[in-house]
Structure 1
Amino acid sequence: MIDLRRLHVLRAVDHYGTVTAAAQALHFTPSAASQQIRQLSRELGVALLEPQGRRVRLTSAAQRLLAHADDIQARWELAEQDLRADGDQPAGLVRMAGFPGALSALLAPAAAALTSRYPRLVPRLREAEAAHSFDLLFDGEVDLAVVEATPDEPPRDRARFDQRPLVDDPFDLVVAPGHRLAGRERVDLAEAADEPWIVPSTPCTCRTHVLAACGAAGFTPDAAHDALNWDATTALVAHGLGVALVPRLARVPANHAVVRIPCVDEPRRKILTVTRRGGHVNPAIAAVLDELAGLAPALLTV
């Protein structure tokens, strides 16, 4: 009989990439995590780790075992849902994570609406960027996450997570009210090529999207100012210090006098919902997914 705790250590090594990272996530020492995998290897009679330079990697046998392990995990989650079910009425604790814009524009209003509609449903929200959200899902600390897909983000394990498109969020050019482009209904980004831009210097999804959109329009933006969050970005724009690309879901503070202008080519970011495989059949999670699907499109009007 396989010890499922040891199997979980192997799954963690696959998810986090190294024995050390997996051990840290599981609150083990690296030697204890390695011992668990060695014991599992002895129980099964196959090698699960093999040297790769100064590190180790999973063997082909380990990869085949993981496919079964993920099936077991998904079936166990379905069993838990079945035992806790009280009809099809959404009830109980549902834990959600999302990046700051998703938390404020999507998850918070969805949680409020669902609490009013289903008194026995208890939402719990936390802020987390995409990479952390996947870790929280894997560790069982959240049930659903809203993440932003980026061109340079490697694809996640599709066998382990259900990733579903929620909405394509367009970026608008944001300018001060007195700017020469402020009266336009739509703007070609190339018309802003010579403007000073507010662009974060820190690697982040926003920077990736801004550089990609400007590159597609044929120029590299002159980053006159560096701001990471949308409040700071729109404050700089409101004071006439530059222009910026801001996703439509990002809320602009009422005291920031700026004008949003849709772009001709409509650069967009993809927003996804993510659950553990099979999680979407849980009535509570399904209720959240339905609420988000109805809420998101209405937020995209300029």
Structure 2
Amino acid sequence: MLDVRRLRLLRELSLRGTIAAVAEALAFTPSAVSQQLSALEREAGLPLLERTGRRVSLTPAGQNLARHADAVLERLEQAAAELADTRQGMAGPLRIGTFPAATRAMVLGALTSLVHQHPDLEPMMLEIDPVGVAGALRAGDLDVALIHEYDFVPAPDEPGLVAEPLCTEPMYLAFGSPGPDEGAGGSGLAHGKDLPWITATPGTLCHAMTLRACQAAGFTPRVRHQVDDFATVLALVAAGQGVALVPQLGVVDPPPGVALTRLPLHRRTEVAYRAGAARHPAVTATIAALRAAVPEDLARPDEPPRQRGGGPRVVV
């Protein structure tokens, strides 16, 4: 009989690429991960891993078993959801991942609603960059999380996860008054091609969006500051330190001296959770509370949930 916990480790190795990364994500030691995977090979009766020096890759049999692991783990999530649905009321911890702009605009209101309607539920919020959400969900560190994608930075496929669209917000070019010289030609982002830029830190989706949007407009931005907090970004803009690309949720109450130009660019926010957990009552209640908390001036797309693993859109 194959051990489910070991199957989870194999699935994570297929996604993360190294034993060290699996160990860090799941709070194991690398030696413990290696021992468990060796035990899984003995259970399977054939090699699942190929070791070349310090590098490890999956054999064809290992790759096939990792795909089955996705299906097994999804069915376990479905079973847990059905068991939770038979209990009277919701109780216990509920771990919600979010990013700062969504925390202020939606998550705080959703938390208030959840606590009022389900007093035995214990929502626990963690601010996390969307690039780290997939691993945290699969590891069980989060139950539900808000993620986002941009026009030039689509969300990557993530096996084992499902995402539901929540809202769409426009993007703005933020600049210090009186702003770029209109007589210099160009439009939209092109107004900032000769000015210093304020971007998010490298490795974030916001940083990638600014670089790709500027490149699509025909120039590479000259980055002066790298800041992740939009309030600080706008303060720097007001101080004449550069221009920035900011989504609508990030331009609430801009400081004096900041002008905004709306661009034909967008950021889309989705709610993600583990495949198979769609009918879990706590997940369902959280998504409903988040939808009710979306600001009225943001678009609310009427789209079905979608598998993040590259499969077809599904209604779950």
**TM-score interval (norm. to shorter):** 0.7 to 0.9
User: Structure 1 residues 71-80 or 24-33, which shifts more?
Assistant: 24-33
Work out whether 1:284 is the aligned partner of 2:282. Answer: yes
Query: What is the deviation of 1:81?
Result: 2.4
Cα–Cα, structure 1 residues 178 and 17, in superposed 2: closer, same or farther, change >3 Å? same
Query: What is the deviation of 1:57?
Result: 0.7
CA distance in 2, matches of 1:278, 1:59: 27
CA distance in 2, matches of 1:276, 1:224: 39
CA distance in 2, matches of 1:274, 1:103: 15
The residue number in structure 2 matching 1:7 is 7
CA distance in 1, matches of 2:45, 2:16: 24
The residue number in structure 2 matching 1:132 is 132
CA distance in 1, matches of 2:235, 2:41: 58
**Aligned AA (2:266):** R
| Paired residues of 1:50 and 1:57 also in contact (CA < 8 A) | yes
| Paired residues of 2:77 and 2:277 also in contact (CA < 8 A) | yes
CA distance in 2, matches of 1:260, 1:45: 63
Sequence identity, in percent? 36
Query: What is the deviation of 1:90?
Result: 5.6
Q: Secondary structure at the match of 1:300?
A: coil
CA distance in 2, matches of 1:223, 1:24: 32
| Paired residues of 1:90 and 1:287 also in contact (CA < 8 A) | no
CA distance in 2, matches of 1:224, 1:6: 47
The residue number in structure 2 matching 1:238 is 238
**Aligned AA (1:146):** L
CA distance in 2, matches of 1:26, 1:198: 35
Cα–Cα, structure 1 residues 203 and 85, in superposed 2: closer, same or farther, change >3 Å? closer
The residue number in structure 2 matching 1:206 is 206
Which string of whole-angstrom CA distances, capped at 9 and with x for unpartnered residues, describes residues 177-211 of structure 1? 444689xxxx6222333334323464432221112
CA distance in 1, matches of 2:113, 2:251: 19
The residue number in structure 1 matching 2:156 is 155
CA distance in 1, matches of 2:44, 2:204: 43
- 1:160-199 counterparts in 2 under 5 A? 160-179=160-179, 188-199=188-199
Q: Secondary structure at the match of 1:40?
A: helix
Cα–Cα, structure 1 residues 5 and 98, in superposed 2: closer, same or farther, change >3 Å? same
Normalised TM-score (structure 1): 0.83
Which string of whole-angstrom CA distances, capped at 9 and with x for unpartnered residues, describes residues 115-155 of structure 1? 23443443211111123322221111211111223656773
Cα–Cα, structure 1 residues 3 and 115, in superposed 2: closer, same or farther, change >3 Å? same
User: Structure 1 residues 266-275 or 145-154, which shifts more?
Assistant: 145-154
CA distance in 2, matches of 1:90, 1:259: 46
Query: What is the deviation of 1:297?
Result: 5.6
The residue number in structure 1 matching 2:305 is none
- 1:47-126 counterparts in 2 under 5 A? 47-51=47-51, 54-86=54-86, 92-126=92-126
| Paired residues of 2:214 and 2:221 also in contact (CA < 8 A) | yes
CA distance in 2, matches of 1:20, 1:241: 41
CA distance in 2, matches of 1:52, 1:296: 50
- Number of aligned residue pairs: give it: 294
Query: What is the deviation of 1:226?
Result: 4.1
Which string of whole-angstrom CA distances, capped at 9 and with x for unpartnered residues, describes residues 76-105 of structure 1? 222222223257966553211022222232
Cα–Cα, structure 1 residues 80 and 243, in superposed 2: closer, same or farther, change >3 Å? same
Q: Secondary structure at the match of 1:298?
A: coil
| Paired residues of 1:249 and 1:299 also in contact (CA < 8 A) | no
CA distance in 2, matches of 1:3, 1:239: 58
| Paired residues of 1:230 and 1:252 also in contact (CA < 8 A) | no
Q: Secondary structure at the match of 1:228?
A: coil
| Unaligned residue ranges in structure 1 (runs of 5+) | none
| Paired residues of 1:92 and 1:284 also in contact (CA < 8 A) | no
CA distance in 1, matches of 2:26, 2:246: 38
| Unaligned residue ranges in structure 2 (runs of 5+) | 300-316
CA distance in 2, matches of 1:148, 1:127: 13
Normalised TM-score (structure 2): 0.80
